[in-house]
Structure 1
Amino acid sequence: MNGTCSCNAYFTGVKCDQCVHGRYGSSCSMVCSNGCVGAICNKLDGSCTCNTNFSESKCDQCAPGRYGVSCELACSQGCDGISCNKMDGKCSCAALFTGPQCNQCVLGRYGSSCAMMCSNGCVGGLCNQINGTCSCLEHFSGIKCYQCVHGRYGASCELMCSEGCDGQTCNRFDGTCKCIANFDGSICDQCVPGWYGLSCHKQCSDGCIAGTCNKIGGSCKCLVNYYGDNCDHCVTGMYGIFCEKTCRVNCLTCNETDGMCLSCSSKQKFGFTCDFECSKHCINQSCSITGDCNMGCATNFYSKKCDILCPETCADVGTGSRCSQENGVCKNGIKERTAFETGTLENKSVETAGIVGGAAAIVIAGLILAGVLVYIRTRRNQRLQSSEYETTQVRSNEATDFHVYAGLNER
């Protein structure tokens, strides 16, 4: 009679007027949310104090940006408004993101916010969405393919660093670099004043005004006494390092270095100082700087300088020289001998034979006389030797006789 009783399911208390732990509602049939701290909620409406990552009065919703059975998962940063489905995390994507849960970057982007672009040096424009690493196209290098290979620059590494860059190295974007000798300009693609050529290794001509010339071919505007595209020649009649000297009076043109004549004012002169006369046997007495007749030889003379007479034995020709002006060979063969010339030759042969015979006789007579003289001298020497022997023998016999006579006296 004090109100105590046996409790139905889900109820508790001495009077069965309380819901068991984790239950609420008039019949205690409803379960408190797992978001409630200690799984305890108000018996009447289920309200409670929420665990972390839960929200709403009954703590039956995930806090913004969370999903999962226990709201333990974070919605992707790519979800628009950073909110997603509580069960599977699906959402509408913000810019630069893609995928059902918006957790991937669109092609060509990487990073946690997909804010960074893959390098244009990546093959296909694709890179790792976490760190941006990729495989490089030609002319690119580095783990993210942001650098150009050595000696290249430009947005697509399509340009070559200037040959004038020290170490062939330049800024990857604008090509600026430190210049080596003879080069100038921000990208070292110009020669310093006074030099030209692809490697700026050639000096502009002394004849260039202000000593400057075109970088490619060296062309320039000329000082006085110079001419040519590169102003590297002296005008006619001048020579010397600075084309300041006048050629000799006899020269028509002269060597630009030493002033020696290349051609003479007079066609009848030759030599490097034009002070020798051409051979009088040159036609019009005209010759080259070396003295060679340049218009041919007078009749019956040959050689380059027309100073040799054709052989007298050459047969005459109708007109012109009887021999070649180049080598002296008879044009019409050797002329035939006359009877007089033949007889003269025979007489000369007889006289020659007589002279030879006489000379031979004289030589033989000389040899005989020399033999006789040798014989006489030999005989004389033999007689002298015989006389000396006989005298020696007489003296020897006299000495012997003296000793014999002395012996007889002793007795």
Structure 2
Amino acid sequence: MMSIAFLLIFQVFFVSKVIHGQCTSNGTCVCHCGNCTSGCDACLPGWSGSIINHCQKSNTFYDKASENTTLLDGDFDTYVEDNSIPPYIRVEFQTIFELRQVDVTLELAEKIMYTVYVKSDPYRRSESIICSSFTSGYVSMKKTVTVTCNTPLQGKFIEIVASSLPRTTLKVFEIERFECSNGTYGENCSGICSAGCNKQCDKETGDCVCKIGYWGRFCNRTCPLHCIKNLCDSNTGDCYSCNNGYYGVKCQDRCAVGCLESCNMASGLCFCKPGFYSANCSLQCQSNCAQNECLQETGHCSRCENGWFGVKCESNCSRCGGNSSCDIKTGDCYLCSVGYFGNSCNKKCNEFCDSSKPCNKITGKCQNCKPGRYGEYCTEFCSRTCKNLKCFSNQSCVNGCEDGFFGSHCDSPCSAAVPSCNQCELVNNVPVCQRCADPLYLDGSACFECPDYCSSCSSSVKCLECKTKRFYGDTCNLTCNKDCLNRTCDITGHCVHGCDDGKYGSRCDQDCPSGCRTCHNSSVCFEGENGHEKLCNKCSRRKKLILNCKSYT
């Protein structure tokens, strides 16, 4: 106890002598660990992040609630839950806050949409105060979700609302908002502000104002080597002037080898040696120019070597079909290789064209498309709810719709027309439900809830399957016989795995004969009890029959 008290006094004293939570550029940080003397083994409550730099990630929501304090206590095993319609959990804070991002640890339910509100009025719910929404998709799990607001919001309440269909229980374990201590930045506050920073860097990005001689977003880059006196613009790294022999905004370039004399230090312009061209003589004449000669101003060749074309003889006819022949001036091909089109055969047919029927040589239009695509160039997607992913050029589905959708484009869910409907069809241009989602049943054209213990049913009085194998009956309201093995039975009450010792019958409601442990009926015994066991085995071996043990006792 004394050692713990001493450690707490030491931490309070140490923090009071330095800027709270500061890390210096040499990696020295204020300690927010449970043990600060022999290495960080765990972070103090309300702090997290990398233990290498002693837990610099502060949970600014820690212990700041006026109610529902369980959600801000750092304990991920405690939770608050609600099963109202729709379920919601609201937290009131001690002061008004601005929120850009929040971490919510909750138990996600399958296909449920969750909406996070930040507000001053506890009962208000409108689009303008929605931070963001998220869903678990088809997965149910306990998870920490990082929610980034569409725009920063202010308020005194955070409210999490789950969608009401399908009905669910909202269970939230913890709500956290993190901020890095001074001198650190990044998602886990593991980044240390650069030594080139003149002041505290941005806690999210690490951006800062630079000292002289540094530049860049993080001020972690030194001015270019050939800047005079190593001075440069802190935002761009551009030099104010260059050492002799270099040019460019960062003095990064030497005068070109094609220069006859030294180049202009600002522009790099110079007069060229033979075989070079451009304003700064940095380019060589094309090798396909006849005798490697070109005009110094433009680099245009006077003549080309055989097999090349263009003003600089820079292009060949390798993409042309046949004998790779092309027009010497324009480069237009006379024939294209398979899979290409265009005057120069330099364009590929769309990969979704039907390869058995190549695209048009001039336009590239597809004759037919692969499944799932349509359009002149097969660039448009058929609806995913079209059967076999096939559609006509007007997007209507060739083979009709997948289950659960209707309409010519199969883009209308059955459940949007008839709540809880899983399959429907158009009758006189009106969607009519054919099958409901479990646990509901179809009555006429509407879906209704099955009895409580049914997982599926055909009516309010007829279950097709019970939620658990321990019940049976038309509405799954009867308990399986306790003598059924594992106490399980089918929906008719028959014991599917057999009977406990001493019982027989489809419902295990009949007693075996005296002296039998297991039996087939009242006269045929499978296994005897205690002293009868050897006699049963002996008789069975002799007669090769299953005998009535009682008759031999």
Provide TM-score, normalisation by structure 1.
0.34
Provide TM-score, normalisation by structure 2.
0.27
Q: Which has the higher contact order (CA 8 A, sep 6+)?
A: 2
When you count strand as a share of all residues, which structure comes out higher? 2
When you count helix as a share of all residues, which structure comes out higher? 1
